[in-house]
Amino acid sequence: MLIAVVVMFAVCNFPQQARILWLHWGPNYDISSDFSTILTVSTFLISYTNSCLNPLLYAFLSRNFRRAMRELFSCHSRNQNHRRGIGFVGGDAMRLENGNFGNIPHSSMVRLSSAHDSPCTTHTITRQSISVKDS
């Protein structure tokens, strides 16, 4: 897949780079002609086409990309009205985003999701506060 993306990048950007070389070092490049205007616009469009083709290359060549897109869209349709709660601790009580209170004494709670996890799942990490005694 990487080879296909790199080759497509080279093919789409070669006309633009060739036109720029001709502009700077070609003795017969006429900037004011209609041909150079059409050439400039067309090489820019070909160059921008690379950005349009990348998602298609990923969709057809990467199994991981297809799986992630399926998970993303299936999760979004299932959990459209579901809100994830992120809370913080202020003293001994914690107020969650949904308005409920929870008790986790002297700790902090962070809700994370990883790029490797499904977007529908989150992990809760609780860090207990550590007190250090002076000696």
Output the DSSP codes for the chain.
-HHHHHHHHHHHHHHHHHHHHHHHH-TT--TTSHHHHHHHHHHHHHHHHHHHHHHHHHHHH-HHHHHHHHHHHHHHHHTTT------EEETTEEE-TTS-EEE-TTEEEEEE--TTS-TT--EEEEEE-------
The model's pLDDT over 89-127, given as tens digits with 9 standing for 90+, comes to 444 455 555 556 555 554 455 545 555 555 555 555 555
Residue 74, pLDDT score? 86
The model's pLDDT over 20-72, given as tens digits with 9 standing for 90+, comes to 999 999 888 888 899 999 999 999 999 999 999 998 998 888 889 888 888 88
88: pLDDT confidence band, cut at 50, 70 and 90? very low
pLDDT at 15 over 90: yes
Residue ranges of the domains in the chain? 2-61, 82-128
What pTM was estimated for this model as a whole? 0.50
The model's pLDDT over 58-76, given as tens digits with 9 standing for 90+, comes to 888 888 988 888 888 886 5
